[in-house]
Amino acid sequence: MSRRNRRTQRQPSIVLLSDNDDDNLMDTQYSTPTASMASQTAAAAAATTTTNQFQLGEPPKTPPPQVRSSQSRSGTNRQRKQIELIDLVTPFKSGVHHQPNYIPRTLHFYNQDRLSILPIFPTILQNNFSQLLLTNIPMCQLSTDEQARRQLGKYRSEFSIRNTNASETSFMVKQYHTYYGSILEKFQVDLAILDYNYIRLHYVLQLFRTARLQILSLDKCSESDLLLHENELPQLLEFYLQMDVDLFYMKTCSFGDAQPRSTTEGLFCEQPPECLYTMTPCGDCRLCRTPRDMRYRQQAPILFNRYEKHRFINGYESILNCPATCTTKNLIYVLTCLCGQYDYISETKYMLAVRFDGHCKIANNLILKCLIGDENFNNLPMNQGETSSSIPWHKTSMSLYKHTIQCSAAVQMFLNNNPLYWCFVPMTILDADQYDMYACIKRETIDDSIEDNDIGKCLADIPKSPSGYKFSKRQIEQQKEFFQKKLYNEPIYDRVPLHNAQVIAVLPPNTSNLFRRIIHSLFVTHTEAKLNTLGHLFNPTMNINFHHHSIWCANLVRPSISSL
């Protein structure tokens, strides 16, 4: 299949966000239906032509005064003519279509901080405000004013280089070639746009350092983790400029077997974004093989060979910038919980298969620990002889796993693959009583050689049932059998995929850990990933409340009585 036939063109949908104040229109009376209809048409037009002043958090302009018609039925002919003239202000309908300004889909009143880290055009003194670059919005979705901002030569640089060949004798010329020379021709934009957004990028780096110091201890934030090599700045700017308000689309990517989409397009999208690359299976790892739990899943944890955008929970989208496989290293990836309500974004210098396997093991073991209790879990054979628990202590505090152990969808998937542990899931009081009434309780011989005190300790460590729930008599018998017969020696399947995964960006080879973490923070902030502890540039220490409205075991689908 040719590269052209593989391409799928998609045009991001436009959602017009506007708060209409209908109260100001209720008191206005109109003498004719046409005048009333004209007013409604004007109000609708005002709502759909909202400019980037709303986007940048600026107060709206004062609306023009409303024209009130006379309420008196009697009057002179002049008054009647004035009333009739109101119909003449109905807008003339022409055949020319005027495209309104682009209105972002993912900007709302509660996340206006994002505006301060988005790339913008150099400040226009005449208007006293700047506009978003909107690098990934095609020309057809821009208004005439927005299209005009992209014209070359519109913005004058604050500096100029007289002799660009003096890099051997001039430090400033050498810096110019480092920061601008390698990308200016490829981007095809005014030098002033790059220069101005380097300042914006440095502001992002300041936010990154501050946020990281608030979360991590000083020993984990050494100077090497906070200072970026100057040769990485142009590459970082290339990512930053194309991490647009609603979409990450790196059309200028030229590493990792990727090529710029066009030799003439440059930084700004002329045509709608295209999905040119995808993730392909390597054929020799756990991610490529059909997982054991596919009979319980609607889809595989990773979808290969899909030429499509990835859509995050908050509506932000991303298009893969390079071809990727299971063996690709140095990347950004996203995990989405099986419940479909929460995202977690991470970065790694290793292969995705290695990291995903680690996430599966930790999540599965934490669910098991919550089912049988801390002490019972630590006494399992797989944890015997270890100086500490098999789960690193800092992992248990991660929002990713805090949600997993409380998510009914994740717990259901674990139990489907490990049915031996259904006896540790409490029932409602009504269900438990009915279960004991109809279930055939097996009476097996109890091994008297095992002291009751040992069994009692194991049973006592089982977590208490939530309010309104209890263990049935049959479940209690099964719990005793579990410890007496040492059923915990039975192998547990601790690689159940409890998340869906996707690679969202491949980074240049040989980039530093700091480079990767900065890109990660930009993704976390723009997508508002709720399961991330690290990465938020604003309010980094905020405590995420998952608002679980139901008990974790309330929505589980249990096996039939005959199968238990």
Going residue by residue through the chain (564 aa), what tens digit of pLDDT does each one get?
A: 444 444 443 344 333 333 433 343 333 333 344 444 444 444 444 444 443 443 444 434 444 444 444 444 444 454 444 555 555 555 555 555 678 999 999 999 999 999 999 999 997 544 556 799 999 999 999 999 999 999 999 999 999 998 988 888 899 999 999 999 889 999 999 999 999 999 999 999 999 998 988 888 655 666 556 678 888 999 999 999 999 999 999 999 999 999 999 989 999 999 999 999 999 998 888 788 766 666 677 778 888 999 999 999 999 999 999 999 989 999 999 999 999 999 999 999 999 999 999 999 999 999 999 999 999 998 887 775 554 456 766 677 889 999 999 999 999 999 999 999 999 999 999 999 888 887 655 444 445 444 567 888 999 999 999 999 999 999 999 999 999 999 988 888 888 999 999 999 999 998 899 999 999 999 999 999 999 989 999 987 665 555 555 788 988 998 876 555
Quickly tell me which residue has 């075991």 as its tokens.
553
Both tokens of 29, joined, read: 């009376």
Question: By residue range, what is the domain housing residue 459?
Answer: 422-491
Name the region of 487 (left: φ>0; alpha: ψ -120 to 50; beta: rest).
Answer: alpha
33 lies in the same domain as 143: no
Instruction: Give the whole-angstrom CA distance, residue 305 versus residue 499.
Output: 19
Query: At which of 474, 491, 508 does a domain end?
Result: 491
Distance of alpha carbon 503 from alpha carbon 352, whole angstroms: 8
The answer to whether residues 69 and 195 belong to one domain is no
Cβ neighbours of residue 274 closer than 8 Å, sequence gap 6 or more: 7, 8, 9, 10, 261, 319
Q: What per-residue confidence (pLDDT) applies to 524? A: 97
Query: Are 80 and 161 within one domain?
Result: no
User: Which residue, among 347, 352, 344, has the nearest Cα to 287 in the 3D structure?
Assistant: 352
Distances (CA, A) of 536 to 110, 147, 208, 541: 15, 32, 8, 9
Same domain, 169 and 72: no
Last residue of some domain: 207, 222, 247? 247
Same domain for 85 and 199?
no
How far is Cα of residue 49 from the mean position of the Cα atoms in its chain?
28
How many domains are there within the chain? Answer: 3
Q: Is residue 466 part of a domain?
A: yes
Q: List the structure tokens of 257.
A: 């077997």
Return the closest-CA partner of residue 542 out of 315, 211, 213.
Answer: 211
Residue 105 near residue 315, CB atoms below 8 Å: yes
Are 70 and 190 in the same domain? Answer: no
User: Percent helix, strand, coil in the chain (nearest 5)?
Assistant: 40, 5, 50
* Residues written for the chain: 564
Whether the CA torsion 313, 319, 320, 321 is positive or negative: it is: negative
How far apart CA 405 and CA 424 sit, in angstroms, is 14
* 173 and 82 housed in the same domain: no
Shared domain for 52 and 157, answered yes or no, is no
475-479-485 Cα angle (round to 5): 135
Burial level of 184, CB count in 10 A (0-12/13-18/19+)? Answer: middle
**First CA to last CA distance, the chain:** 51
Point out the domain boundary residue: 217, 247, 277.
247
pTM above 0.85, yes or no: no
171 assigned to some structural domain: yes
Cα 395 to Cα 24, 81, 371, 389, 399, distances in angstroms: 54, 78, 18, 11, 9
Q: What is the DSSP string of 409-459?
A: HHHHHHHHH-GGGGGGS-EEHHHHHHHHHHS--------TTS-HHHHHHHH
131 with 45, same domain: the answer is no
CA distance 564 to 415: 12
- The whole-number pLDDT of residue 396 equals 78
* pLDDT value, residue 548: 54
